[in-house]
Amino acid sequence: MANVAVVGAQWGDEGKGKVVDWLSERADVVVRFQGGHNAGHTLVVNGVTYKLSLLPSGVVRGKLSIIGNGVVVDPWALLAEIERIGAQGITITPDLLKIAENACLILPLHGHLDRAREEASGSAKIGTTGRGIGPAYEDRVGRRAIRVCDLDDKAALESKIAALLAHHNAVLRGLGATEIDGGALLTQLLEIAPKILPFADVVWKRLDEVRHTRKRVLFEGAQGAMLDVDHGTYPFVTSSNTVSGNAGTGSGVGPGQVGYVLGICKAYTTRVGSGPFPTELFDEIGARIGERGHEFGTVTGRARRCGWFDAVMVRQAVKVGGIDGIALTKPDVLDGFDELKICTGYRCRGEVLQHFPASMSRQAEVEPIYEVMPGWSESTRGARSWKDLPASAVKYIRRIEELIEAPVALLSTSPEREDTILVQDPFAR
């Protein structure tokens, strides 16, 4: 059976939650493969809104849900999320949720360090959520991380905490921040271990069994391609690989099992936090898009920066991420505009570029080249077929397809899952 990977094709917040929920009904297993509780997905199911950060979206549908080894897990945040979702009638059991035993943990010290470093950076701050995701990934590659499996071994925890704090307390001293008490941290971990360990599993083996039973797997990405630690607007990026190539590595399957790659992008562009944003609007049009699109972060509540659709950036995401088709969201936010603009290239230092440069200084200097298209006065909200869309909206979508060199496989016209126009079923490929 075909598998599908869903990834963001912009700077995150593209509406992956609704699309993943829509696809999860067709899937048997849903896997989160990167990121932490800095990412948020909002799902609206039967009129009920669920806000998920660490939990895969499949839990709402009762599908086997897996947190892969590529995710950094804050066990306290996870338990709080399980409790919150439980209050909405969704019971999370070890039969429903599996956590990779080799996933690395986010500890309280990571958030403490994250916030201390951002504060020390002043105006040069990256704009992290302060939840410790970056420091946790640093510990992972620095080979000093505490993993889920370590919670079952007190002696290992003691030695690992000592090694961990030898590094981090030195950094905290240099920042003038409060140092971490190793004994208190050990106590915290021993207290939470019995609550987390029942969910621990050999995920790569579990997914191999799934493959042999020919079940459909949905790999759920967080954030977006332009926040990828390698391919994004570095250093204003997240600390993991957000492109589809990490779906295999972050869950323990081979690249051939990832299957169809569906990229999610809005009919315009948004970004949260610091960093370059060539098509950002600082006028009443940008404010109007933000207001109509309810552009506030699911996790942080921060207002998102808004701008015109950047076809250069999305095309780059398509190429780098191996995206087979696009799910285009929120065209209804553009209803009522007399004209719309699409960025088709950049000007930078006397050159015309058809890609987003890697250099931080060049990224800050690029100026968008726009193509102007007519808008539409009719409503697209809730449309469920192409014939329900205004002709100008169809032309806008077709032009996006041409510029990003990928088809629109799915069009989302409201937060409700039924308000979706399916052009190509990713699972049927």
Catalytic residue numbers read: 13, 41
Closest alpha carbon to 204 in 245, 254, 145, 255: 254
CB 244 within 8 A of CB 322: yes
Provide the phi-psi class of 294: left if phi over 0, else alpha when psi is between -120 and 50, else beta: left
Q: How far apart are CA 57 and CA 71, in angstroms?
A: 15
Nearest to 415 by CA among 63, 84, 88, 47: 47
What backbone torsions phi and psi does residue 69 show, to the nearest 5 degrees?
A: -65, -20
Residue type, 392: S
Show the tokens assigned to 295: 């552009």
φ, ψ (nearest 5 deg) of residue 217: -115, 135
| Sequential DSSP letters for 354-422 | SS--S-HHHHHH-EEEEEEEE--SS--TT--SGGGS-HHHHHHHHHHHHHHTS-EEEEE-SSSTTSEEE
DSSP, res 237: S
52 beta partners: 41
